[in-house]
Amino acid sequence: MTTWTTWPSQEALSRDTRPPSRQGVGRLVRLAVFGGAVWAVVAKGRLGPLATAAAVVGILAAYVVVWGYFRVTLRHLLWPAVGLLALLMAGGGTARLLDAPVAAVVLWCACAVLAIERLPLFAGVPAAAVALLSFAFFASGDNWLVTTLTVAGLALAGYTVRLDAEARGNTHRLLAQERAARAAEAESAALAERARIAREIHDVLAHSLSAQTVHLEATRLLIERGAERELVLERVVAARRMAREGLAETRQALSALRGEMAPVEEFLREMVDAQGARLEVAGEPRPLPAEAGLAVRRVAQEAMTNVRKHAPGARVALRLEYRPQEVELEFRDFGGNAPVDNSLGASGAGYGLRGMRERAELLGGALEAGPQEEGFVVRLRVPA
């Protein structure tokens, strides 16, 4: 039932959805029809000047009515469209009375095709039937077989044009939806990239700068209290070391954002060599996705920082295992010379393991951290 009461979509009725080449062909056809009609009137010769002028005005009026019909059907205005179509049919009848059968045939046939193409079928089919019956009774000859075939062909042509326009409209609508989806996907990717950059800036600069602030504040207090030169120098050296480490981590983060990261295994080997730790690799090594590789790096760095802070001198062992669907990093220390603070909150505040846990969960992985035997274990698993 909805097929009979539904208008063709605006995408189907609009010329803007047609390819430029097809629009150009349509303009040429309309121009040729208009020019041919005017030429036929003028070349007829037996019409007087006034009759010729009236015929040309009638052709212009028909063109304006057709233009208006296209406009109102595009806006889905039923009664104005039916009225303009009736006006065209009446123009065909007038042409027939004025002994212009060709003009009458053109107008009635055009009305039949346009009614089926651009109106809801419940209105388009009766309007087309009236136009085709007018053609059959007033403009055809005695050959009813040819007339019947012509009427059926015109009805079929109108419906075919309607289906073609609907297919074009659906294609245009799907293309617009796909473009909107791609734009939304690009915007989402841009937001995700901004979030990743913000995370890197926070993880690197916030930690480094906050540590430097602590050392510089301690240096200021020592100077105000007249502390010995060695103590002040120790704090300055520590702040300088933190600045260098922060600069190095910032460069690593920028390289990671550009996709220029060294392999995870190479990074871990360099880190354990510098810290005197031990690294074990299990499974078949393979390149990791950028986010997964970055998570492994950051967790290893944070865990090593916590060892220096809370378990200085502790033995450290790392195990990197490549699994079919994920990669796991296990970071274990065996206790140091200083008392071990096993609380997660003291291991780095917002920047520390809590931030690493959030990073792992964003990737669909998990991070576990807690005391084990005489030391502390951090275990990261991320899809890769």
**pLDDT at 7 exceeding the cut of 80:** yes
Q: Is residue 379 part of a domain?
A: yes
Residue among 262, 261, 265 nearest 284 (CA) = 265
Residue with tokens 């913000």: 198
- b/e code 259-293 from CB counts within 10 Å (16+ = b): eebeebbebbbebbeeeebebeeeeeeeebeebbb
Q: Is residue 360 part of a domain?
A: yes
* β-bridge partners, 379: 330, 368
**pLDDT at 182 exceeding the cut of 70:** yes
Residue among 210, 384, 382 nearest 300 (CA) = 382
Domains: count for the chain: 2
- b/e code 115-146 from CB counts within 10 Å (16+ = b): bbbbbbbebbbebbebbbebbeeebbeeeeee
pLDDT in tens, 205-242: 766 777 778 778 888 888 888 888 888 888 888 888 77
* Domain end residue (candidates: 74, 104, 139): 139
Q: Is residue 130 part of a domain?
A: yes
Domain coverage including residue 309 = 262-384
**pLDDT at 101 exceeding the cut of 70:** yes
pLDDT confidence of residue 184: 86
pLDDT confidence of residue 238: 81
Q: How many CB atoms lie within 10 A of CB 364?
A: 11
Straight-line distance from the first to the last Cα atom of the chain, in angstroms, rounded to the nearest whole number: 53
Q: Is residue 53 part of a domain?
A: yes
* Domain end residue (candidates: 81, 105, 139): 139
CATH code of the domain covering residue 371 = 3.30.565.10
Residue among 177, 178, 171, 120 nearest 17 (CA) = 171
Q: Is residue 218 part of a domain?
A: no
pLDDT confidence of residue 379: 92
Average pLDDT score, the chain: 80
Q: Is residue 253 part of a domain?
A: no
What mean pLDDT comes out for the span 133-146? 75
**pLDDT at 164 exceeding the cut of 70:** yes
pLDDT in tens, 296-340: 888 888 888 788 777 777 889 999 999 989 999 999 988 765 444
**What is the 8-class DSSP label of residue 137?**
I
Q: Phi/psi zone of residue 259: left (φ > 0), alpha (ψ -120 to 50 degrees), beta?
A: left
pLDDT confidence of residue 331: 92
Residue among 269, 260, 254, 340 nearest 300 (CA) = 269
Task: Report the amino acid identity of residue 244.
Answer: R
What mean pLDDT comes out for the span 173-189? 85
Strands 375-383 and 316-322: unpaired
Dihedral, 224, 226, 229, 232 alpha carbons, nearest 10? -30
pLDDT in tens, 57-66: 888 888 899 8
List Cβ neighbours of 168 (8 Å cut-off, separation of 6 or more).
11, 12, 17, 18
Q: Is residue 284 part of a domain?
A: yes
Residue among 152, 165, 153, 113 nearest 7 (CA) = 165
- CA distances for 372 relative to 198, 334, 352, 353, 366, angstroms: 33, 9, 19, 16, 18
pLDDT confidence of residue 68: 92
What mean pLDDT comes out for the span 102-124? 87
Q: Which residue has the higher pLDDT, 297 or 44?
A: 297
Q: Is residue 185 part of a domain?
A: no
Q: What angle do CA 11, 15, 21 make, to 5 degrees?
A: 125
What mean pLDDT comes out for the span 259-276? 78
pLDDT confidence of residue 340: 42
Structure tokens at 262: 């060294």
Contact 320, 296 (CB under 8 A): yes
* Domain end residue (candidates: 139, 159, 194): 139
> pLDDT over 90 for what percent of the chain?
10
Contact 47, 103 (CB under 8 A): no
Contact 350, 320 (CB under 8 A): no
How far, in Å, CA of 374 to CA of 262, rounded?
33
